[in-house]
Structure 1
Amino acid sequence: MSPMVLENDVEVGESLPPATEHAVSVSLPTWRANVGYEEGEEWVISKMKTGYPRFFIHKIIQAFSAAIVTKHGREGEGAMLFPTHAIASRCRDFFLRNAPDLDASKIRILDFVPAAEKARSEELTVISPRVSAVLFPQDRFSIAKQFWQHSGDGVSSRRAEYCYQLFEKGVLIEASSLDLPPRIRKGPRRYQKQTSIDLGGPDDAVHSTGEVQDPTQFVEERFGRNLDLSMTKNAKLAIRRRIAGSLTADVSLSEALSLKKDTARTRPVAEFSEDDVYLYPTGMSSIFNSHRKLLKAKGPLKAIVYGFPYIDTLKITEKFGAGSLFYGFGSSEELDDLEKRLEGGERFMALFTEFPGNPLLMSPDLQRIRTLADKYDFCVVVDETIGNFINVNVLPYADIVVSSLTKVFSGDSNVMGGGLVLSPMAKNYSLLKSIWEEDYEDNHWAEDSIFLERNSRDFVSRIDRIGTNAEAICNVLSAHPRVKQVNYPKTSPTRANYEKCRNPNGGYGGLLSATFYARGDAIAFFDNLDTVKGPSLGTNFTLSSPYVILAHYGELDWCAKWGVEADLIRFSVGLEETGKLVETFKKALDAIPQ
């Protein structure tokens, strides 16, 4: 039986959405294309215009890296680009730990800054058109790529695009030629007072005078003209208010900023406000930096990873710090084991979990975890990306709540971002707050913040619509005899745990997954499913993926040990008309050979 003609059949390697320069997904439209990508087959790899940014380094970033090596590098070197010297230093440390045979002088950091001292103005602090490059032997690229992927702290494609233009024009130059120390920004103190937020409109965009060659003028006018520079701080504030839950209406930026700082309405936690919300370049960066700072707060103790996690969370705990204790089922029996270990004197710095988990959509027993954490003094980090705070309130059970803003918060699949929230209820709050005050860098690129604020204005209404669609798809899949299992928080054996955290008007989210009794059935269904197909989730359009093959291709046996089947298909449900979406899934099910 030949595959159906599909409306959403986007060519392999094309960005999702198509023709979107800074897209965060890529089309892998068939089962064979996903396997071919993982196998490195030329017919797939050669067509890749982009990819998920932490796994596929954007071509703009690749070009900028190559230009830096050409101008400043040595033969056989490669470069990896980061927003600050501090992050580049962490990459260098990771390199030296994982390549002890390398002479330390082989790993170099070059900092690129605007050419004139006056370009280090307050306005340019908002933009921060700076890049730090780690140069290394190109044959060790895989080590640099691991840090890029796990940390989530690499430059964004928009930052690279903008800074590359400055570099080409001679406006962004290597810092040592200016005899300036690497710039280190500390603390979110600019967030603490209303007076530190520029409440001006577009007409207040920065203007400067002087010669055309003046780098301050070049950067400020170019950036201000394109992006309403004066609104950058405002956009960040509006995003933080939305994450705090004090801003849930679909309002313009000026309306969002006219609200007084308020305690959160959708996160009913005493004393909690936007001042406890921090922005990061990616969701993984918020997890990575939580782990890094918790090591500082609690000492070099092991972490606990509870429930089958997104791939890099486990890798972070294994490759940084003292390692981890992994409970891949997220079961009550595993919590029994943890309790015995704690009673026996074992100590841990933190427990990392997702609510619900990806891709099995299991919900951990946060109430019991919180009780253990309080008794034995470890922190709890909850990734709420899948549940999101409109549907669930996990803050009372967590010390730290992290989220990927790249997903449903944005929806448009064209910008990266991460959010992190400190809970003022947690007994470690004062300690954690002091560490964040001392060590936090806001590295979310200004242009990315503008896009993220615009995209997120209607996220509340989108979440409601997406949840309705996802429940309908769950029902269609669950009713089909060739479908082995459907994973969704509402139908999960762990639903009771979800309900403890569900908000009064909250739903069950837009992510679900399914397995089939035979691999051939899974392939036939996937290849005939008329949605776009690729990595990521939380998009405004339905996005499907053979998730385990794409995320865990080199460790399928390991996944199976934890009950995660290789042929699982994951669906991130979008905003399409419900009836049409249901029909799309029914047609794909009908395409399974009888």
Structure 2
Amino acid sequence: MMGEVGASIPEDTEHAVSVSLPTWKANVGYEEGEEWVVSKMQTGYPRFFIHKSIKKLAATILSKYGRVGEDCMLFPSHSVANRCRQFMKQTSKSSPPPTLRILELVPRTKRETIISTGVSAVFFPAEEFKVAKQFWQHSGDGVSSRRAEYCSQELEEGLLVEKGALSEQFTRPAKGPKRYSRTAADVDFKPSSPPAPDAPDTSRFVEERFGRNLGVEFVGNAKLAIRRRIAGTLRSDVGLTDALALSREGGRDADLEEDDVYLCPSGMSAIFNSHRFLMEALGAKKSICYGFPYIDTLKILEKFGPGAQFYGHGSQEDLDDLEKRLEGGERFLALFCEFPGNPLLKSPDLLRIRKLADKYDFAVVVDETVGNFLNVHVLPHADIVVSSLTKVFSGDSNVMAGSLILNKKSSYYPVLKKLLEHEYEDNLWAEDALFLERNSRDFVSRIERINVTAEAICELLLKHPKIKAVYYPKHSPTKQYYDNCRCPEGGYGGLLSMTFYSMEDAMKFFDEVETAKGPSLGTNFTLSSPYTLLAHYGELDWAAQFGVESNLVRVSIGLEETDKLVETFARALKVLE
């Protein structure tokens, strides 16, 4: 399972979202920027590593439209590009402020097509690249690698031009790259509408999954199927045709309909835009980051708006402190938390949080990526639920996506719904949606297998004398809060972490365990990572004060046979004896 340093995970996957860092030393080398690691990086996690197809498109755009000393970053729409420009204006320390401009490339002619093609480039002085990269990483709203491939081909064929550069009389027909069949089957498709009675035979997509001629006429239906899986009954594996036939009612929550599920180009985009929408709807106030979060969530709250009150332990004492602040008159926009948290798998007391939110008028945003909506049901306690569909919902580790769900019973629902009707952009690229729909068809059965195997691995690790602590929702001090939201047939998920009594043992175990090793989680194969090292290398002491130790190893359980995976981990543990 262990790949070469810098190879994609899975191997030979053009749009993989993980990269092989198979030894502790390789992870340190990556963080230190050492040549022997960095020079071999074929890919990386897409919000941190800009894919070669995106670099190629950016280079082409620079050569055609750039000025001396400029670099550029690519986004799916003008409004996203403009948010990047605003962030760079506010964040750059250059004096005088850098010259920033946006170039919008659009189709040569107005085409009747369900593909929203085109790209917006933010141009900036090359020395400002790190500032632009911050926005790319935190917002999760950059162009996807598949979109970049498509636009590169359009640009080469002269089908993308600078907005406003054409006369209205020019009417050259535009065919677009050949691998997309442009039919009118779904031209008038609205995401919330049922499929037309004469829609094409969607079963064709099964055979086309790995081909290059992915049928564009299926994109609208694919997005609808994804949203119905998220909102729907989800009690068994469901193909595309069956997903489209599902009733709009009868989901996990009687008040949850597909119309309130919004797709995003990444999970972080769902978080970023939730925060943005809340500030726009309710006014800019400080937010609360409760529990030790995935790094970019805290960065978003700190950098985009008035700041954050950070409760890194996610404890009852933290909620006591928050309650005192609220009683004293402090007011907040929203509380952001994960259910359960990553990497310590602690679950917030959502029942208490909901009571405080109702009493003191702040929103609750819950990221349930790690728990996933087959194991836990957090919507009744949240105003917005966000999730990274990149993870276990997809499983194949070859596409980025996210979702944002509005709670219809929320007191903020009317104002948020009205705002999203005008402000929401569907920037999930067409081909990414096709891959995600296909990957998610067996979501239900995969979750069941992963839950069982994760518990078995957890039991093995708990017995080992060299392991200091095992973090898993079932054995957490916060288990009661997890169980408050656990679905009747739900398990405890596929993510667990462990710490060791010595750094040497952590390094030995990690190097020995025969799994894939790299960033990300929720993959169909078991994936191990020295999480703290990768996520917090420049702030290890800061992370340690919240119990996130530098020798922590995080494991995301996959679909391997339970007995065989237990044997794999038992072999690795033998090196500690």
TM, length-normalised to structure 1: 0.91
Partner of 2:52: 59
Partner of 1:368: 352
Q: Which runs of 5+ in 1 are unaligned?
A: 1-7, 181-187, 206-223
- Cα distance in 1 for partners of 2:567, 2:318 equals 41
| CA displacement at 1:349 relative to structure 2 | 0.4
Secondary structure of the corresponding residue to residue 358 of structure 1: coil
| CA displacement at 1:175 relative to structure 2 | 1.1
| CA displacement at 1:243 relative to structure 2 | 0.8
Conservation of the 8 A alpha-carbon contact between 2:107 and 2:117: yes
Partner of 1:73: 66
- Cα distance in 2 for partners of 1:57, 1:494 equals 38
- Cα distance in 2 for partners of 1:152, 1:559 equals 23
| CA displacement at 1:20 relative to structure 2 | 0.3
| CA displacement at 1:441 relative to structure 2 | 0.4
Conservation of the 8 A alpha-carbon contact between 1:189 and 1:437: no
Amino acid at match of 1:315: K
Secondary structure of the corresponding residue to residue 226 of structure 1: coil
Partner of 1:418: 402
Partner of 1:194: 194
User: Pick from 116, 119, 126: which aligns with 1:131?
Assistant: 119
User: Pick from 208, 211, 220: which aligns with 1:233?
Assistant: 220
Conservation of the 8 A alpha-carbon contact between 1:202 and 1:230: no
- Cα distance in 2 for partners of 1:26, 1:171 equals 33
Secondary structure of the corresponding residue to residue 474 of structure 2: coil
User: Pick from 522, 547, 553: which aligns with 2:537?
Assistant: 553
- Cα distance in 1 for partners of 2:574, 2:164 equals 65
Conservation of the 8 A alpha-carbon contact between 1:247 and 1:256: no
Determine whether 1:50 maps to 2:34: no
| CA displacement at 1:350 relative to structure 2 | 0.2
Q: Which runs of 5+ in 2 are unaligned?
A: 169-187, 206-210
Q: Deviations over 1:34-80 (max 9, x none)?
A: 00000000000000000000000001101110111011001111110
197 and 191 in structure 1: CA distance in 2 versus 1, 3 angstrom threshold = farther
Partner of 2:147: 159
Conservation of the 8 A alpha-carbon contact between 2:6 and 2:43: yes
| CA displacement at 1:304 relative to structure 2 | 0.2
* Aligned pairs for 1:45-124 within 5 A: 45-99=38-92, 101=94, 106-116=99-109, 118-119=110-111, 121=112, 123=113
Partner of 1:40: 33
Determine whether 1:173 maps to 2:161: yes
Partner of 1:397: 381
| Identity score, percent | 64
- Cα distance in 2 for partners of 1:174, 1:153 equals 21
Q: Deviations over 1:75-108 (max 9, x none)?
A: 1111100000000000000010012645667211
Q: Deviations over 1:436-461 (max 9, x none)?
A: 11110000000000000000000111
User: Which has the larger displacement, 353-362 or 244-253?
Assistant: 244-253
* Aligned pairs for 1:331-350 within 5 A: 331-350=315-334
Amino acid at match of 1:241: R
Amino acid at match of 2:521: L
Conservation of the 8 A alpha-carbon contact between 2:191 and 2:223: no
Conservation of the 8 A alpha-carbon contact between 2:195 and 2:221: no
| CA displacement at 1:259 relative to structure 2 | 2.4
User: Which has the larger displacement, 23-32 or 427-436?
Assistant: 427-436
Amino acid at match of 1:361: L
- Cα distance in 1 for partners of 2:522, 2:167 equals 45
29 and 320 in structure 1: CA distance in 2 versus 1, 3 angstrom threshold = same
Conservation of the 8 A alpha-carbon contact between 1:300 and 1:322: yes
- Cα distance in 2 for partners of 1:202, 1:19 equals 28
Determine whether 1:586 maps to 2:540: no
| CA displacement at 1:277 relative to structure 2 | 0.3
TM, length-normalised to structure 2: 0.93
Amino acid at match of 2:225: A
Q: Which structure features the higher share of helix residues? A: 1
Partner of 1:531: 515
Amino acid at match of 1:252: G
492 and 568 in structure 1: CA distance in 2 versus 1, 3 angstrom threshold = same
Q: Deviations over 1:396-417 (max 9, x none)?
A: 0000000000000000000010
Partner of 1:382: 366
